[in-house]
């Protein structure tokens, strides 16, 4: 089921109305990423204000989710002695069947456990979005899938919480883009069950036997895979990417048919439209004359064949949706802030958390085309994230900043002369008690206020790629750029806050003047087109005299804490591998059950400790400042490792993508965490695009990056999609308009040709003296073919540039039998045995990795 955007506060208001002292705590399952962390902060603030008890559970991957299901969610069910309740998934579970994942899919139904899903990852698992849970009828008590207040999976204003089920919070995508998938899913769910063999016309088939399901009732295997499993077991797929072949199987894109659960077919009472099919032979046997019974049997077979055709058509619609590839939609923190705004609870703290969550997405390359480079933009700052939709989100946040942080009348004159109007980058608060949020023309530098200007520019992925900073010539270009700007090396290598005030005030103007000479268009936001527009401007918040941080800075620090740990961890020799990967250990050494359980528990403690450190940092400026050193250490490692890979020419060009492997050096243990590895991959991808351009045979930024975890004998692998990342939003829009125009021209040409042939046929008919119905007409078939071609082109436009590494990984695992574990919520992140990597990549290079 899904909750439309215009009813975003409906479920929360129901929760507040039902709140009482005996209500079980709301369980929050939170992904270990800055966006979900910020969303958790906003939601817990709302729950505290309404005195609603809650419990937070960090979730590192699907293994953690399965354990949380066993230990926390299933005991909540009323059928297991629990009291029901609400489970909120933040950045968790949008791509898998959560009803099955949480164990709410048996005959007893969800047991009054209601699961809310807020996730930016796409594609949606359509069982979550449109499926209706098995619940008892309030009048008859019979189990069924009809619920009051639910229309074809959409929650209506009359819906009342408390009966349980999985509910997706729609950010607008479902209403705007998935209506065809919704109709197909609902039609499949309501479709009577017909066996594949019925279509063959075999007269020897047993018609009295109950028909097989339209979807095979085979249960999907649980998420996560053991590295040491047999090769044939290693071909198991992610639940979110399960596919059904024509011969059977199960997919999440269409509802699995479980006769014992659905109650769609009943030979005793004839429930639903399927009763006509299941009782066809008994009707024929009661007929007086066999001559009457035979046409009835043929009619049933004909209807069954039509039903199978319709089922295949609907399955095709759902399969195409999954084949589009991975992408990202509205950040979770932005969605939860919209909930707070709808409730009238917004304030500066909640707004800041939303801004940090939204800003953090670009650090991990999460765009509308999946995980990959942000689309090129000359608008500066973070304006490249997620194209037009990302800019709309930031525009709303800028309006909220102006509304909640009005400029004091005493500061208006100062702001006009030297503040926002002149584009000075703020580095300090206005007063000792100032905690306001301000707009700032942030350059594409890294931790500018907490590093020297030189180091901040040196470690900027955007600037590093364009100046070729990995080479001596690139370092000289950086020195020359600073010299042209009139900034001495003495000044630029001291802490930025200690630089000469005149240099800091004129920094933006100097960058705007000299950056284009080095191809750095968009290094800083351009001057406003009018007094009110501040396109590409970032966000800054001060905590009195203690600190002044930009939203990007906070996102960098939170990410480093989650990926590396706190500053104390830096004193360890190498980084403990249990700190970087999921909560399961896969050592080839034999372990007793107690040792294995202890290893899992210790790893979970590391993960949980990091989560709470990052969680507390959002409200403790002292802890946040302590994390700056960790963030600087991580990005120094990225620069060192990236430079070494390029200098040693260790980036190979395969057929469909480039490949780089981190298996030596002082920082190799650091890049066994998928988040840190993704940041390194993005740095390398920026450099690849700059080195090879965006045209010709070597265009694109598709990259597979592998990091060696020698202690566990495996590689962590991440696949970056390129696609539209190497084109600006304007270029992509122009290409799309050109495709639409070309399709329109082709359609008009075919229509003219069709009309010409029709007239010729009419002339021949009149000359031969034939009746009109005696002449065949190909118009209908041609129109259907044309419509099919148009749909295929629309699908290509819809999936253009999306990251399909997740789909490709699944295909290669099936073909090679490689020992792979897929535990990350990112479809493009896997773990693979060392000895299987070479063959896996060779086969992967033959696949389509970008839509």
Strand 85-90 with 26-31, pairing: parallel
Res 200: pLDDT: 44
Contact 214, 193 (CB under 8 A): yes
* pLDDT for residue 790: 55
Going by the DSSP 8-state scheme, the letter that residue 431 receives in this structure is: S
Task: Tell me which residue of 120, 213, 210, 114 sits closest to 164, measured CA to CA.
Answer: 114
Torsion, Cα of 201, 202, 203, 206 (10° steps): -110
Bond preceding residue 123 cis, omega within 30 of 0: yes
Give the model's pLDDT for residue 299. Answer: 76
Burial of 494 (0-12, 13-18, 19+ CB in 10 A): middle
- Cα distance from N-terminal residue to C-terminal residue, the chain: 28
Question: pTM of the entire structure?
Answer: 0.81
Strands (E), 476-543: 538-543
* Cα–Cα distance, 208 to 159 (Å, whole number): 40
Backbone angles phi, psi at 819, to 5 degrees: -85, 100
Q: In Å, how far are 230, 567, 568, 630 from 571, measured between CA atoms? A: 39, 8, 6, 11
Kindly tell me if the per-residue pLDDT of 221 is higher than 50: no
- In this structure, of 32-41, 277-286, 634-643, the range with the lowest mean pLDDT score is 277-286
pLDDT of residue 367: 83
Looking at residue 123, what is its pLDDT? 92
Q: Which residue has the higher pLDDT, 539 or 753?
A: 539
Among 181-195, 243-257, 731-745, the range scoring the smallest mean pLDDT is 243-257
What was the pLDDT predicted at 801? 66
- Pick left, alpha or beta for residue 79 (phi over 0 → left; psi -120 to 50 → alpha; otherwise beta): alpha
Band of pLDDT at residue 228, cut at 50, 70 and 90: very low
Q: What is the mean pLDDT of residues 701-705?
A: 89
- pLDDT for position 775: 47
Weakest-pLDDT range from 142-146, 481-485, 808-812: 142-146
Which pLDDT does position 406 carry in this prediction? Answer: 87
Asked if 635 and 450 touch (Cβ cutoff 8 Å), the reply is no
CA–CA distance, 164 with 112 (Å, rounded to integer):
4
Q: Per residue in 500-526, pLDDT tens?
A: 888 888 888 888 889 888 888 878 887
Binned at pLDDT 50, 70 and 90, residue 390 comes out as confident
Rounded Cα distance, 188 and 257, in Å = 9
Contacting residues for 659 by C-beta, under 8 A, at least 6 apart? 651, 652, 653, 703, 704, 705, 706, 841
**What burial class does residue 259 get, using C-beta atoms within 10 Å of its C-beta: 0-12 exposed, 13-18 middle, 19+ buried?**
middle
Q: What is the pLDDT of residue 136?
A: 65
Does an H or E element contain 353, and which? helix 348-360
pLDDT of residue 139: 62
The better pLDDT of the pair 442, 767 is held by 442
Q: What pLDDT, on a 0 to 100 scale, did the predictor assign at position 134?
A: 74
Query: At residue 216, does pLDDT exceed 80?
Result: no
Structure-model confidence comparison of residues 711 and 780, the more confident one = 711
* Residue 26 phi, psi dihedral angles, 5° rounding: -70, 130
- The CA R_g of the chain, rounded to the nearest whole Å, is 30
What is the overall mean pLDDT for the chain?
77
- What pLDDT is recorded for position 498? 87
Query: What is each CA distance from 225 to 70, 295, 513, 562, in whole angstroms?
Result: 17, 53, 54, 24
Strand order in the sheet with 538-543: 437-440, 538-543, 547-550
Q: Which residues of 412-444 are buried (b: 16+ CB within 10 A; e: fewer)?
A: eeebeeebbeebbbbbebbeeebbbbbbbbbbb
Q: What DSSP character marks residue 211?
A: P
User: Over pLDDT 90: what percentage of the chain?
Assistant: 40
The answer to whether 793 and 740 have CB atoms below 8 angstroms apart is no
Residue 597 pLDDT class (50, 70, 90 cuts): low
Average pLDDT over residues 78-101: 91
**pLDDT at residue 491 above 80?**
yes
Q: For residue 285, give the H/E element and its range.
A: helix 280-286
Question: Using CA of residue 54, residue 60, residue 65, residue 71, what is the dihedral sign?
Answer: negative
- Let me know how long the chain is: 851
**Joined tokens for residue 778:** 């190909």
Q: Does residue 366 register a pLDDT over 50?
A: yes
- Given a cut of 50, whether residue 578 has pLDDT beyond it is no
Q: How confident is the model at residue 236 (pLDDT cuts 50, 70, 90)?
A: very low
How far apart CA 175 and CA 765 sit, in angstroms, is 49
CB neighbours of 743 closer than 8 A, spacing ≥ 6? Answer: 790, 793
Amino acid 560: pLDDT: 94
The sheet carrying 150-151 orders its strands as 54-59, 26-31, 85-90, 113-118, 165-169, 2-3, 154-155, 150-151
pLDDT band at residue 59, thresholds of 50, 70 and 90? very high
Section 315-342 average pLDDT: 92
pLDDT single digits (tens) 254-304: 344 333 333 322 333 333 333 333 333 433 344 344 444 455 555 778 888
If you average pLDDT over residues 374-391, what whole number do you get? 58
**213 pLDDT band (50/70/90 cuts)?**
very low
């Amino acid at each position: 089921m899904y909750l439309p955007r215009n009813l975003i506060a409906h479920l929360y208001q129901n929760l507040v109305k039902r709140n009482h002292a005996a209500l079980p705590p709301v369980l929050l399952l939170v992904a270990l990423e800055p966006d979900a962390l910020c969303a958790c902060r906003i939601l817990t603030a709302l729950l505290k204000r309404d005195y609603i008890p809650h419990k937070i559970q960090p979730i590192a991957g699907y293994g953690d989710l399965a354990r949380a299901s066993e230990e926390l969610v299933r005991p909540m069910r009323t059928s297991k002695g629990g009291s029901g309740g609400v489970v909120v998934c933040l950045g968790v579970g949008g791509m898998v069947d959560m009803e099955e994942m949480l164990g709410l899919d048996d005959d007893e139904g969800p047991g009054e456990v209601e699961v809310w899903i807020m996730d930016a990852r796409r594609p949606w698992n359509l069982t979550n979005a449109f499926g209706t849970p098995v619940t008892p009828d309030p009048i008859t008590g019979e189990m069924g899938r009809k619920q009051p207040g639910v229309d074809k999976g959409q929650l209506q204003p009359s819906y009342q919480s408390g009966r349980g089920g999985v509910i997706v919070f729609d950010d607008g995508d479902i209403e705007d883009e998935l209506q065809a998938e919704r109709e197909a899913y609902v039609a499949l769910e309501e479709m009577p069950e017909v066996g594949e063999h019925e279509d063959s016309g075999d007269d020897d088939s047993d018609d009295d036997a109950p028909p097989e399901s339209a979807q095979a009732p085979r249960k999907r295997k649980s998420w996560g895979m053991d590295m040491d499993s047999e090769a044939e077991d290693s071909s198991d797929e992610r639940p979110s990417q399960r596919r059904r072949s024509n011969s059977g199987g199960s997919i999440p894109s269409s509802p699995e048919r479980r006769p014992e659960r659905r109650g769609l077919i009943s030979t005793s009472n004839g429930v639903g439209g399927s009763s006509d099919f299941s009782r066809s032979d008994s009707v024929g046997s009661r007929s007086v004359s066999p001559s009457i019974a035979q046409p009835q049997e043929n009619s049933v077979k004909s209807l069954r064949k039509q039903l199978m055709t319709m089922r295949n058509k609907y399955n095709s619609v759902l399969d195409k949706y999954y084949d589009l590839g991975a992408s990202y939609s509205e950040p979770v923190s932005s969605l939860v802030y919209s909930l707070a705004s709808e409730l009238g609870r917004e304030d500066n703290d909640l707004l800041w958390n939303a801004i940090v969550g939204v800003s953090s997405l670009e650090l991990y390359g999460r765009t509308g085309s999946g995980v990959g480079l942000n689309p090129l933009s000359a608008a500066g700052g973070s304006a490249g994230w997620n194209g037009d939709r990302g800019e709309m989100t930031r525009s709303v946040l800028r309006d909220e900043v102006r509304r909640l942080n009005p400029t004091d009348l005493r500061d208006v004159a100062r702001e006009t002369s030297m503040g926002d109007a002149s584009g000075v980058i703020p580095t300090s608060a206005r007063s000792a008690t100032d905690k306001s949020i301000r707009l700032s023309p942030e350059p594409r530098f890294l931790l500018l206020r907490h590093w020297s200007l030189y180091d901040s520019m040196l470690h900027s992925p955007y600037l590093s790629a364009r100046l070729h900073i990995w080479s001596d010539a690139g370092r000289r270009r950086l020195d020359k750029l600073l010299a042209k700007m009139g900034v001495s090396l003495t000044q630029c290598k001291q802490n930025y806050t200690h630089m000469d005030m005149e240099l800091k005030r004129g920094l933006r103007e100097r960058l705007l003047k000299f950056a284009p000479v080095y191809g750095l268009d968009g290094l800083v936001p351009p001057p406003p087109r009018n007094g009110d527009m501040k396109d590409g401007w970032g966000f800054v918040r001060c905590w009195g005299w203690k600190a002044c941080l930009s939203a990007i800075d906070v996102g960098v620090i939170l990410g480093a804490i989650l990926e590396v740990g706190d500053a104390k961890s830096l004193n360890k020799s190498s980084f403990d591998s249990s700190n970087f990967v999921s909560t399961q250990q896969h050592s080839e050494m034999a372990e007793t059950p107690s040792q294995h359980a202890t290893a899992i528990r210790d790893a979970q403690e590391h993960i949980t400790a990091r989560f709470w450190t990052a969680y507390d940092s959002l409200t403790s400026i002292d802890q946040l400042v302590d994390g700056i050193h960790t963030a600087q250490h991580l990005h120094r490692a990225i620069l060192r490792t990236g430079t070494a890979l390029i200098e040693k020419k260790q980036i190979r060009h395969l057929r469909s993508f480039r490949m780089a492997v981190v298996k030596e050096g002082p920082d190799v243990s650091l890049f066994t965490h998928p988040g840190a590895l993704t940041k390194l991959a993005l740095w390398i991808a920026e450099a690849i695009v700059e080195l090879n351009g965006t045209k010709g045979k070597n265009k694109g930024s598709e990259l597979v990056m592998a990091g060696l975890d020698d202690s566990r004998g495996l590689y962590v692998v991440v696949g970056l999609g390129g696609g539209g990342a190497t084109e600006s939003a304007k270029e992509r829009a122009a290409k799309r308009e050109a495709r639409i125009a070309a399709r329109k021209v082709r359609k008009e040409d075919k229509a003219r040709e069709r009309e010409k042939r029709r007239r010729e046929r009419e002339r021949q008919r009149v000359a031969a003296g034939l009746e009109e119905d005696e002449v065949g007409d190909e118009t209908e078939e041609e129109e259907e073919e044309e419509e099919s071609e148009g749909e295929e082109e629309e699908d290509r436009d819809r999936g253009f540039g999306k990251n399909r590494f997740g789909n490709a990984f699944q295909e290669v695992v099936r073909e090679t039998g490689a020992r792979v574990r897929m535990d990350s919520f990112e479809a493009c992140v896997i773990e693979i045995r060392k000895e299987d990597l070479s063959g896996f990549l060779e086969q992967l290079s033959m696949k389509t990795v970008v839509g």
